[in-house]
A and B are shown apart, each in its own frame.
Chain A
Amino acid sequence: MRRARSFTRLTGIVAVAVASLALTACGSGSGSESTGDSTSSGPFTIRVAMGSTGETVDAVFTKLKAAYEAKYPGRTVEIVIQENDTYETIGLNNLLTSRNAPDVYFERPGTRLATKVHDGYAADITDAVNGPGFTGRFDPAAYSGMQIDGKTYMVPWSGDVTNVFWFNKAIFTANGLTPPATWDEFLALCGKLKAAGITPLVDGNKDKWPIGSIASHLAERSLGNDAYIAAIKGDQPMNSAGMVAAFDNLKTLADNGYINKSVNALPDDQATTQFLLGKAAMIGIGSWLVSDQISQAPKLQIGYFNLPTLPGSGDQKSVLGVSTGFVVNANSEHVSAGTDFLALMSASEATKLFAEAGLTPMTVDPFAGVTADANTVSLATLLSSAPTKVTPADNIDVKRADEFYGAAAAVIGGLKSPQEALDAAQKRVEALPKS
């Protein structure tokens, strides 16, 4: 009897201990009070999650929070900002599966959005974006990649040209150079710079996407957009003759010493610094270089040119770019409150704030009433007027893009021939399980 009572006591202690541990582990939420429905009368909080795109942009969200709370009494906004890499790798997934999942979150269109829709984390907001809060704010083309099976799941936010060739105007002028129109002209220009003892092109491909982006663009120019996308999705082989021809252009840069030898060892930010210090005449990178130039080398005069035309069946005027947007969580109890926040984000006042913070908003009037950098405005026009917008491979299929980018890195590093690199990549993607 006594033994039985002791056992009961022990069981109770164990149960309490387990419960305590479980509560300790699970009770790490922020304590936000996301209770009630947006249609209910009680106060509630919506959580808005994103990766940081810089302090100035983050500060805009603080202003939007205040504006939203003033406009909708009883509603509060909790802004959740994580370090960008963390957010895009593990952060967002952890947030979405947590007890305090965000009601609204930043995401990229295309594969990533499709995955969220498939997994039940993206609300169908078709009716809302056709409603008064969004009317006339976006060109229908801005929703590219944000609609699946005719339903809209994302509100556009900002756009970036992912790759152009930036050049140092002083170096170009001193050497009598002008932006090239064709790839052959580009190579001739690189040759002149090299002969003058100047590194023609610098890039930092440690993370593989900078040269991977150029490879994406070269592939589209060589194969055409549909065939390029099919190759990345696995519907066509990655080692086709057209793809090898595209990669031959990378090999030409490597073989002739037109790009820095350290390309695969250098992070992209260090390559940017080298360019801004005038150690190379050009860099292949996206539109975000402008903000680095403004903050690090405000006196440096820079210009850009799009990827020169190449022999190939693709659109030779195409532009490589990505857009971003915000999604309302399908599991949110406050879907309409979430779309209200996105409507506020899309209004002209918010557009102005984002443009002043250095972004290129995707609204119809991205720079209205704003004195924006000339290169930023020009790039926004380039992207919006592009006859073909090319999506970088990692926005199409992350795993296959990793192999594609790896092949591009091997070629630009002079480690493999285009055929060898693409054969190896094809072999690897063939071994991937079917999704």
Chain B
Amino acid sequence: MRPSSRWTPYLLVGPAVLFFAFVVGLPLVGTVWMSFTKWSGTNRMRFIGFDNFTRAFHDTVYQRAYLNTFIYIAATLVLEVAVGFALAGLVSIQGKRTLWYRITFFIPVMLPMVVIAVLWSFIYSDDGGLINSFLTGIGRDDLRRVWLGDPGTALLAVSVVSGWIYAGFYMAIFYAGLQRVPKSLLEAARLDGASEWDLFFKIKAPLVRGMTEVAVLLCITGAFQSFDLFFVMTKGGPDHATEIITTYLVSTVFVDHEVGYGAALSVIMTVVVVGLGLLYARFRREGDVDVEY
């Protein structure tokens, strides 16, 4: 059916485009503009060209924040995606009552992040924390640590909490995928003598590859968005050991009131995230194999 006027399609998409322009387009343009200025948020903006960007490339804490973010991504790919995949495999084994396991593993996803962060801060506490008390209980005082105050353990400690939360989320994604694997295929494999281990790794895992790719992408982009867990648990410390891009950004803008510089940092981050996304899409296309089932 042809529209009554050539303007009808524009009219239909207009509100959405306007809304998008208002909540995404304008802030984006504004942020890019601000990144070329020196501005505290209240004073007069001063155009300073690329000075903010030059400064960012020499900012050792900002560089450290990227390193930490990439370490965090690597850790969460294991602790969230791989563990989520393994959990999905376990809860999808036939003949087991797995509903309660699925609910249990998914519960952390539904809890408020700040509550989780505070809870785990107590678990990691040096004085009376669950982990250190357990180590004392088994006579391993030598392993006690100030988990969130030691640069050698703080980032891993936060990553573990992240894994505890999101492994259940990825489990749900993978579980949905595994349920779509044709039962006839599995039955045939069983008749051929395949074990549950074989079924999982040789049949189910290859068939949910698409979901794995989505999960990896979500994990990577989610890591760039992480903030609350780090802010509540460590505030980027000790000595910037858990400083990630977002905590440094917030500190720059809202504590130091360097809005222009903060805008430049966020523009760089946007470019990095988009670049990684494009890179990922390219690799994905090159290795794309459609599996129909």
A97, B42: Cβ atoms under 8 Å?
A: yes
Q: Type the 1/0 row for A260-276, where 1 means its CB is closer than 8 Å to any CB of B.
A: 11111110000000100
Among B7, B19, B43, the residue within 8 A (CB) of A7 is B7
Whole-angstrom CA separation of A396 from B138 in the bound complex: 49
A121 to B44 CA separation, bound complex (whole angstroms): 12
| A66 within 8 A of partner (CB) | no
**Which residues of chain B are near A116, meaning CB under 8 Å?**
42
Q: Which A residues, 90 to 131, have Cβ-Cβ distances below 8 Å to chain B?
A: 90, 93, 96-97, 115-116, 118-119, 121
Which of A9-17, A45-53, A151-159 is found at the contact surface with chain B? A9-17
Return B95 CB to nearest CB of chain A, in Å.
45
Contact code string A263-292 (vs B, CB < 8 Å = 1, else 0) = 111100000001000010000000000000
| Chain B positions within 8 Å of A263 at CB level | 149
Which chain B residue shows the least CB distance to A97? Answer: B42
- Cβ of A298 to closest chain B Cβ, rounded Å: 23
In the bound complex, what is the Cα–Cα distance between A18 and B26 (angstroms)? 12
Q: A206-B237, A261-B146, A265-B146 are in contact. Are A398 and B15 (CB under 8 A)?
A: no
Contact present for B5 and A6 (CB under 8 Å): yes
Query: A267 vs B69: C-alpha distance in the bound complex, in angstroms?
Result: 24
Report the separation of the CA atoms of residues A427 and B18 in the bound assembly, to the nearest whole angstrom.
Answer: 47
Asked if residues A13 and B238 are in contact (CB atoms below 8 Å), the reply is no
- A399 beta carbon closer than 8 Å to chain B: yes
Q: Kindly list chain B residues whose C-beta atoms are within 8 Å of the C-beta of A243.
A: none
- Nearest to A10 among chain B residues (CB) is B7
User: Which chain A residues border B254 with CB–CB below 8 Å?
Assistant: 89-90
Q: Could you tell me the distance between the alpha carbons of A172 and B212 in the complex, rounded to whole angstroms?
A: 61
Q: Which residues of B in the span 198-249 have a Cβ within 8 Å of any Cβ on A?
A: 234-235, 237-240
Tell whether, in the assembled complex, residue A415 and residue B238 are in contact, meaning their CB atoms are under 8 Å apart: yes
Q: Is the CB of B238 within 8 A of A413?
A: yes
Does A63 interact with chain B (Cβ within 8 Å)? no
Whether B239 and A261, one on each chain, are in contact in the complex, defined by CB atoms closer than 8 angstroms, is no
Say yes or no for B127: interface residue by CB 8 A criterion. Answer: yes
Contacts of B7 in A (CB 8 A): 6-7, 10
CB closest residue in chain B, given A427:
B60
Contacts of A428 in B (CB 8 A): 60-61
A92 CB, nearest partner CB in chain B, Å:
9
CB contact under 8 A between A17 and B14, given known A261-B126, A409-B237: yes
Is B149 within 8 A of A264, CB to CB? yes
Tell me if A21 counts as interface (CB < 8 A to partner B). yes
* In contact, B239 and A409 (Cβ under 8 angstroms): yes
Query: Once the chains bind, are A433 and B40 in contact (CB under 8 Å)?
Result: no
Enumerate chain A residues within 8 angstroms of B151, measured Cβ to Cβ.
Answer: 415
Q: Which of A228-255 contact B (CB under 8 A)?
A: none
Closest A residue to B126 by beta carbon equals: A262
| Min CB–CB distance B30 → chain A (angstroms) | 13
Q: Is the CB of B256 within 8 A of A415?
A: no
Q: Pick the contact of B22: A25, A207, A208, A266 (CB < 8 A).
A: A25
Taking CB atoms, residues of chain B closer than 8 Å to A433 are: 38, 51, 55
Question: Contacts of B126 on A, CB cut-off 8 Å?
Answer: 260-262, 265-266
* Count class of interface residues, chain A: 35 or more
A340 proximal to B (CB < 8 A): no
Tell me, yes or no, whether B133 is within 8 Å of chain A by CB.
Answer: no
A3 at the interface (CB under 8 A from B): yes
Given A264-B237, A265-B148, A279-B127, CB of A399 within 8 Å of CB of B5: no
Whether A431 pairs with B42 at a CB distance below 8 angstroms is no
* CB neighbours of B149 from chain A (8 A): 261-266, 413
Cβ contacts under 8 Å, A402 to chain B: 251, 255-256
B260's nearest neighbour on chain A, judged by CB, is A433
A83 to chain B, nearest CB (A): 13
Per-position 1/0 for A39-58, Cβ under 8 A of B: 00000000000000000000
Pick from B19, B58, B256 the residue with the most CB of A within 10 Å. Answer: B256
A219 part of interface (Cβ distance < 8 Å) = no
B41 at the interface (CB under 8 A from A): yes
A416: interface (CB < 8 Å): yes
Q: Which chain B residues lie closer than 8 Å to A261 at the CB level?
A: 126, 146, 149
A206 to B230, CA, bound (A): 12
Complex CA–CA separation, A118 to B40 (angstroms): 12
Select the residue from A260, A265, A274, A416 with max chain B CB neighbours within 10 A.
Answer: A265
Q: Can you list, as one digit per residue, whether each of A314-325 has a CB less than 8 Å from chain B (1) or not (0)?
A: 000000000000
A265 in complex: contacting residue of B11, B41, B59, B234, CB < 8 Å: B234
Is A212 on the interface with B (CB-CB < 8 A)?
Answer: no
Q: Which of B242-288 contact A (CB under 8 A)?
A: 251, 254-258
Known: A93-B257, A265-B146, A433-B51. A118 touches B43 (CB 8 A): yes
Q: A17, A21, A25, A96: which contacts B42 (Cβ < 8 A)?
A: A96
Beyond known contacts A121-B42, A261-B146, A402-B256: 17 more, CB 8 A cutoff: A17-B18, A21-B22, A97-B41, A262-B127, A264-B238, A398-B255, A399-B258, A402-B255, A406-B239, A409-B237, A410-B239, A413-B238, A415-B151, A416-B239, A427-B60, A431-B58, A431-B59
B interface, CB within 8 angstroms of A: 5-7, 10-11, 14-15, 18-19, 22, 38, 40-44, 51, 55, 58-61, 124-127, 146-149, 151, 154, 234-235, 237-240, 251, 254-258
Q: Which 10 A-B pairs have the closest CB atoms?
A: A265-B149, A262-B126, A265-B148, A89-B254, A264-B238, A119-B43, A264-B149, A93-B41, A119-B42, A262-B146
A/B interface sample: 13 pairs, CB < 8 A? A3-B6, A13-B14, A93-B40, A121-B42, A261-B126, A262-B125, A262-B127, A264-B237, A402-B255, A402-B256, A409-B237, A431-B58, A433-B55
